Structures are given as C-alpha cells and as structure tokens.
Structure 1
C-alpha cells in the first residue's frame, strides 16, 4: 500500500472512531428540565420581539385591536351600569371561581402542575404544553403589570369614571390599575393553550368559555371595565400563538402541525359588532 493511501486510511479510520466516541447528550430528567426552562425564557423573549417583525396583516390586526379598544372605551360606563342589573343573579360558585382562578398564584399552580406531569412521565407533548402555558403566563403577566403602572386607569369600584387616569407610577396604585386585566389574560391564555390539544370545535369552544369566565367576573365585581377584559383576551391569543410558533422549532411533538398554513386570526369591529374571527 502506498504511503498516501495508508495516510488516508488512518485519517478516515480516526475520524469514524472519533465520531463513534463522541458522547450523545442523555435525555435525563435534569437535561429535559434545563432545556425546557431555556425555552420558557426564549418563548417570552420571542413574543416580545414579534412587533419588530410584523408585516402588513399583523399591523392591521394591531390597528383593529387598538381601534376596537378605543371604541369600547366610549361605552364602558354604559356597559358598567347595564351589568348592574343582573350581577347579583350570578351564582357564588362562578364568582368565586372567576376571582380565584385568574390569580397568579393559582395560575402557576395549574401551569406548573401540567409541566411537572409531563416532565416526570417523560411525555414531550405534555412538557411542551406546560412550557407554552408558563411562557404565555409569564409574558402576559409581566406585560400587564408594567402596563398598569404606566396607564393608571381607575377601576370601576373606585367610584371614578372610565376615563379617569393616574398614570406613571413605579409602585402599583390600587384602584388605579384597571388596564389591562391580569385575570382575563392569564385565564384565557391557559384556555387557549390547552384547547390546542383538541381538534373538536365543541371542546375548544367549551374551554374558551371557561377561560372567559374570570374576566367577565372581574367586570361584574367592579374590578375592571369591559374594554380591559376584551383587550386582554385578544392580546393573550397573540401571545400564545407567537410562543407556540417558537416552540415548533424546539420540540418534535407538534400538536398544531396539521393546521392549515393560511390560518389567520382577524379582528372585526363596526358600529354594531365587535369580534374575533378565525379563517381557515
């Protein structure tokens, strides 16, 4: 054998042996946990960075959301007086559920429980769902806390009108922290993320309905105006969708991989209608 051929054989054998000897990262509990935590933070950052990548339809939806919220601002006082006619007829069970479920401590008990169940059972789909839930709650929760301090909108229970503001406080000023609604945002984020697990429109609709209860209860209890809850509910959809797309590149399990490519959420507002529609 010629020296050049011998050298090539040695190098080829060494390369193959080196590749075989390279240790593969073991998928143990700790590695899965650290990987998921990294994706939680990555999902939050991805959601916050999306406005820098928006295109025509994205900016149109943002414009609809802004315009629709401003439109609701003009009728918040009337809607608040209207709901006073039946707020006492709502069962205590629903009121208690609405006020307690959307609270951050209870929200993270649920989302953390879903994630830990997936982690310990080694179910990647459930792990991903937990990551989506926690990331969405964190992104929405931090955003609404900062917004409350900047906007400083009066709550209905303060006795002031819907157009009363005390903005720009580093510390939270109670009764002037109405916009947006944290309960509505956290509760509907969970409902929307969990509904992604199911194909049935009836199941999805049921989950959406349950997810909207905390926001509506907060309106009935004079903690929020209707526009606070409507804005927060729609914003939670945008947050979950953006983080879910980020997680598509991080996990093999994709429960939305059969979603049509041209699916789109659209907001619609008019003199006699306010709504969110999905086209597919």
Structure 2
C-alpha cells in the first residue's frame, strides 16, 4: 500500500511539472517595475510565511459565515436538503453497499481505508508542500498550503461534530436513528466521516490545479474510493460521507479564493504574459 501511495505522489508531481512545461502560454509574471522579478524567499522565511498563511486561511474559513451572502445561504440549504434526503434512505443504501463488500477487490478496500487515515493523508499533503518548498515551485507549494489549510479546517469541524452528534455507526446495528452524544465511544462517531473529509479536501485541492477534465476525472475517481469504502465497511452511512464531501468542497473553494484574492488585486503591479505560437511571439502587459 505504501508503494501505491508513493507512485501516486510521483504521478502528482509529474502532472504539475508536465503541465507547466507543455503549456503554450507561459504563466503570468507579476512584477513591480517591469524590469526584475521579485526574489524568492529563503526556505526558512518561506516556512514562516506559509505558516502564517495557513493560520489565516483557517481563521478566515471559520469567520466567513459572518459575511455570507444570499448565494452562500442557498448553498447551505442545498447541502442540508441533500443530507436529509440521503438520511431518509440510509438504511437501504447501507444495506446495499455492505452486501456487496465481498465483491470489491481486496486492494481497493485496503486502499480506501489507508488513504483516508490521518497519518497517511497528512503525509501526502506534507510531501506535496515540501516538494514545492524545496524545489521553489510556487504552484506546488501553494497547493500544499491549500491542502493543509483545508484539511485542518474541515478536520477540526468534523471532529467536534462527531462528538456533539454521537451517531451510531452502521456496524453497531442500532439503526440510523440511534444517537449518543458526548459518549467518547468510537462506535458513536459516525457523523460525519473523518476519512472522507481528509481525502476530499486533498482531491478537491489537487483538482483545482488542473484544467484538463480527464485529469480532474482521474483525481475524483481515486478520491471516491475512500468514502465508498467507509460505507462498505459499515463505518458510516451514506449521508455521513455526503455531508463530509460537501463540507470539504466548500472549505476548499473558500480557502482557494481567499488565497488568490490578494494576488488578483495586487495594486501598482504589472502582469506580464508571454504568448507564443508557431509564427508569433508576443508580450502583453496588463496594468
């Protein structure tokens, strides 16, 4: 299983680098005086900067509901409605998936549980961040910051929710209506799913970095294994993993926009874009 995760990490890194090398349009360069590019921070300094960014990202996520607009409340209502709908059929969906567990290849079952484990998932996100840090590749490093911020934000939220709600896991055979808040017993920590939160934040963050729909589809295909495995194993109901994935999606979206807001609105700078084609080379500056 470790070999599979190592190959995944190698594949992810190659996707980042190949996308940059194969792109016809060179990434926009933000410069202050149109002559020299800003110097890169040292590794130590960059660690401090990114640490502050992670803390700011987490704080922003928790405080953002105070400034939500109508669209955000509509999204919340949609998630709540979807959770209620899946909750209403939790008994049937749980039975359906659990009865088919033996038909799922053993390697897929193990991968789903292993990939969603906190120590393994944070190992992957940390490796992505450190790769960007030491190679001084801002895109990979920023992706790592996004992953760590989102996983921490959503992870803390789901940990608190599990304890507060105390929903019995399907494997206890107590049914979808049984709750035991603040019990501290692992059998009553079904809602929502921690494994799903970690994998979903990782995959949503990673998919944000690619425009190719086939690459996105591949990322999501890998990411869906863990949520389904939690239902197969009787660790969670389908409504648990649905809510977890929804939380992860909106946390990643909000954090991504927050991280890029300052870059998009940087005043007094010129954005230089180099465009190349077989018979033309052009340099455009946007004020």
TM-score, normalisation: structure 1: 0.78
Aligned to 1:194: 206
Aligned to 1:61: 75
Question: How far off its partner does 1:246 sit?
Answer: 1.3
**Do the aligned residues in 1 keep the contact of 2:98 with 2:231 (CA within 8 Å)?**
no
**Structure 1 segments of 4+ aligned residues over 2 angstroms from their partners:** 249-252
Question: How far off its partner does 1:152 sit?
Answer: 0.3
- Partners of 1:25 and 1:126 in 2: CA distance: 18
Deviations 1:2-51 (A, max 9, x none): xxxxxxxxxxxxxxxxxxxxxx9972111111000110111111111121
Aligned to 2:150: 136
- Partners of 1:26 and 1:209 in 2: CA distance: 36
The answer to whether the aligner puts 1:116 opposite 2:130 as a matched pair is yes
**Do the aligned residues in 2 keep the contact of 1:155 with 1:223 (CA within 8 Å)?**
yes
The answer to whether the aligner puts 1:36 opposite 2:53 as a matched pair is no
**Do the aligned residues in 2 keep the contact of 1:154 with 1:164 (CA within 8 Å)?**
yes
- Partners of 1:147 and 1:51 in 2: CA distance: 17
- Partners of 2:170 and 2:252 in 1: CA distance: 29
TM-score, normalisation: structure 2: 0.76
Q: 1:239 aligns with which of 251, 261, 266?
A: 251
Q: Structure 1, unaligned stretches of length 5 or more?
A: 1-23, 253-280
- Partners of 1:72 and 1:138 in 2: CA distance: 26
Instruction: Count how many residue pairs are aligned between Structure 1 and Structure 2.
Output: 227
Deviations 1:178-235 (A, max 9, x none): 0000111110111111111211111101111211110110000000000000111111
Task: Give 1:1-280 correspondences, 5 Å limit.
Answer: 27-169=41-183, 172-249=184-261
- Partners of 1:104 and 1:70 in 2: CA distance: 28
Aligned to 1:13: none
Question: How far off its partner does 1:251 sit?
Answer: 5.5
Aligned to 2:274: none
Q: CA RMSD in A?
A: 1.6
- Do the aligned partners of residues 26 and 80 (structure 1) sit closer, same or farther apart at CA in structure 2, a change above 3 Å counting? closer
Which protein is bigger by CA-based radius of gyration?
A: 1
Q: Structure 2, unaligned stretches of length 5 or more?
A: 1-37, 265-287
